[in-house]
Structure 1
């Protein structure tokens, strides 16, 4: 059996077997001494009966054979008929037979003592074994937690036999593999971080130059409608390119874990009011309204700039998919364990075919090709929310509107 591969299990079973064997030997010795004791009690009883008969003037020629000769079935039958009417049967109370009562009491006490000693030895052996086993697993649990918290040098002792050592050996292999993977992942993230930084600097220079050239061209009075139209379109595309590049860089930095959140306790009403003010000009020009409802005391421990970025992307998406006289609602509430931000619009809604893909990077629905979007804003919003330990979900009904739910556990505020 595989269980006996473990040296400690074999040792435990050996100790238990020795205890049981010793208890059997002790029981046999007890039976031997109890038999001799019982024999003495019977002989003492017979002596008393012989003396009683002798005092009744029965000769020794009749008394001695009564105890030493072999008895027949007829003798047994006659004796039973003689004594049963007086109550001398197998059901007679032991207290009426002092020898039997004495034998019973002695045997009962010895059996109890033997059972107690054997049970105590077995329980002590099992207790010591399981305490040792428990400490071993407790130490293993502490080592695993230590490994999870960053101590990559933790390894288990696997130089023994048995399933536990095989398990520890497998964990050691896994820990070595994870350590190598983590090291490689850190190197990859560092490389990606540096690459992103280089790309950022490389893109900013030509983009800034193009914007400057476009502004110079716009200042020239060409009196050419076609040229002026192209200038406006060029400006719009440059702004779109700048927005896309900035979002890509932000998302890449989040993916590379190259961002350290500067968390502080932010009043959500002040934060959300800043978002509303930022979109008020666009909403007014498009004849749309943005409503905010938030209790003044709600506070979230977060990086305000990044949360502002995430919420702004969602509101921008809402304004992109609403028409004149539509409304965007921003609700902020809290429960004993969560802070919830709800962003709701009554616009075109999301097609059921797209609802599962809206957070996918660069996903563009075939039902919204007329929208001038980049397909990255919601992806960035989701990454920011999850970076803060929160979650984001969406519900939508086609031609009725869309609702985004951002939830943040209050535990992150501690």
Structure 2
């Protein structure tokens, strides 16, 4: 049988068989002891009857013959009828027969004690094997948790021949494969990080040179309107290219997992005020209003630089899709479970066909009037927010405005 291939099962089966064998031996000894006791009681009972008959003048030889010789069926019937008339028969209650009552109580107690003892032994041995297996599983669970927490050198004890050790061996094989995969992934991330750094460095030089050339042309004032017009357009496109490259590099770093957030507790009101003040001048020029509502007691654990990037992109998106006299409201709220940041505007809203795609990279709506955007800002914001353990959702009605909800469960922000 497959179960008997397990060393622990074989040992447990052997222990159970030994206990049952002991039970059989003790039972047989008890039967012999009971037989001897019954024999002793029967002889004592016959001796008492013989003595009573002798005392009442019955011939001694007749008494001996009555006790020791084989009885006939006729004698049995005659004796049964005689005793029955005296109330002495099979249906007589045991408490009227002291010897029988004492015999029953004695061996009922012995049988009960033996049954209890062997039941306890069986239960104890079974419980011991369960406890031992439970200890192995608890130790394995602790080691697996240590592995999950980062100690990839941890391995389970698979030195025994039981099926649990065979299972642990499979887990160890899986852990070794995972460790190799993690090492490879770590190496790939390091390579990607260095590659991104190299690309960033290589791109900065030609972009800076182009920017410098354009500024020189503008400073020279060539007097040619066509040249000046194209130079200014080139400068704007160069700025767009620079922003696009920077955002792409940021996204690549987030995707590669090479960003280590330096999270600290910040007063949410002060942080949101800094983000709002970034757009104060633009809002005044465009005749728009940006308001802030947030309790000063709320604190959020964030990386200020990266989280500012996420909030600024969302606020900029709101400004891009509102018109003069429209308003934008930034608010922060806290409850027992989470901290929520809301950015609400009463602008043009988002078309129903676009609402499920606005966080996709390079997605451009055919309904949007904004032709300058590159469709990466909100995707970058979403990645940063999720990196902080939060989530972002959007609700919008065409022509009524848009609301972005940023929710951070307290289990992830404390």
What TM-score do the two structures reach when normalised by structure 1? 0.90
Instruction: Structure 1: state its 5+ residue gaps.
Output: none
Give 1:364's aligned residue.
Answer: 364
Give 2:307's aligned residue.
Answer: 307
What is the deviation of 1:127?
A: 3.0
Is the 1:340–1:407 Cα contact (8 Å) retained in structure 2? yes
Is the 1:42–1:99 Cα contact (8 Å) retained in structure 2? no
Is the 1:339–1:408 Cα contact (8 Å) retained in structure 2? yes
Deviations 1:233-270 (A, max 9, x none): 22221221111111112222222222222222211111
Distance in 2, matches of 1:2 and 1:214, equals 81
Give 1:392's aligned residue.
Answer: 392
What is the deviation of 1:62?
A: 5.8
Deviations 1:292-322 (A, max 9, x none): 1100111112211211111111111222223
Q: Which moved more, 1:343-352 or 1:12-21?
A: 343-352
Q: Which moved more, 1:147-156 or 1:302-311?
A: 147-156
RMSD: 2.5
Give 1:334's aligned residue.
Answer: 334
Give 2:20's aligned residue.
Answer: 20
Counterparts of 1:126-145 in structure 2, within 5 Å, are 126-145=126-145
What is the deviation of 1:29?
A: 1.3
* 1:169 matches 2:173: no
Give 1:179's aligned residue.
Answer: 179
Counterparts of 1:93-112 in structure 2, within 5 Å, are 93-112=93-112
Distance in 2, matches of 1:61 and 1:44, equals 19
Counterparts of 1:187-336 in structure 2, within 5 Å, are 187-222=187-222, 224-336=224-336
Distance in 2, matches of 1:77 and 1:380, equals 109
Say which SS state the counterpart of residue 279 (structure 2) adopts. helix
Give 2:70's aligned residue.
Answer: 69
Deviations 1:9-56 (A, max 9, x none): 110111011101111111111012112211221222222233334444
Q: How many residues align?
A: 413
Distance in 2, matches of 1:77 and 1:400, equals 113
Distance in 2, matches of 1:278 and 1:92, equals 108
Q: Which moved more, 1:240-249 or 1:107-116?
A: 107-116
Distance in 2, matches of 1:349 and 1:56, equals 125
Distance in 2, matches of 1:358 and 1:117, equals 74
Is the 2:389–2:413 Cα contact (8 Å) retained in structure 1? no
Residues 42 and 125 from structure 1, CA distance in 2 versus in 1: closer, same or farther, beyond 3 angstroms?
same
Residues 357 and 78 from structure 1, CA distance in 2 versus in 1: closer, same or farther, beyond 3 angstroms?
farther
Residues 34 and 328 from structure 1, CA distance in 2 versus in 1: closer, same or farther, beyond 3 angstroms?
same
Distance in 2, matches of 1:180 and 1:189, equals 14
Residues 341 and 56 from structure 1, CA distance in 2 versus in 1: closer, same or farther, beyond 3 angstroms?
same
What is the deviation of 1:191?
A: 0.7
Give 1:375's aligned residue.
Answer: 375
What is the deviation of 1:82?
A: 4.7
Distance in 1, matches of 2:134 and 2:317, equals 56
Residues 199 and 104 from structure 1, CA distance in 2 versus in 1: closer, same or farther, beyond 3 angstroms?
same
Is the 2:320–2:370 Cα contact (8 Å) retained in structure 1? no
What is the deviation of 1:199?
A: 0.9
Residues 77 and 282 from structure 1, CA distance in 2 versus in 1: closer, same or farther, beyond 3 angstroms?
farther
Instruction: Structure 2: state its 5+ residue gaps.
Output: none
Say which SS state the counterpart of residue 301 (structure 2) adopts. strand
What is the deviation of 1:83?
A: 4.4
What is the deviation of 1:7?
A: 0.4
Counterparts of 1:26-105 in structure 2, within 5 Å, are 26-59=26-59, 63=63, 66-67=66-67, 68-72=69-73, 82-84=82-84, 87-105=87-105
Distance in 1, matches of 2:386 and 2:59, equals 111
Give 2:4's aligned residue.
Answer: 4
Is the 1:94–1:100 Cα contact (8 Å) retained in structure 2? yes
Distance in 1, matches of 2:75 and 2:346, equals 113
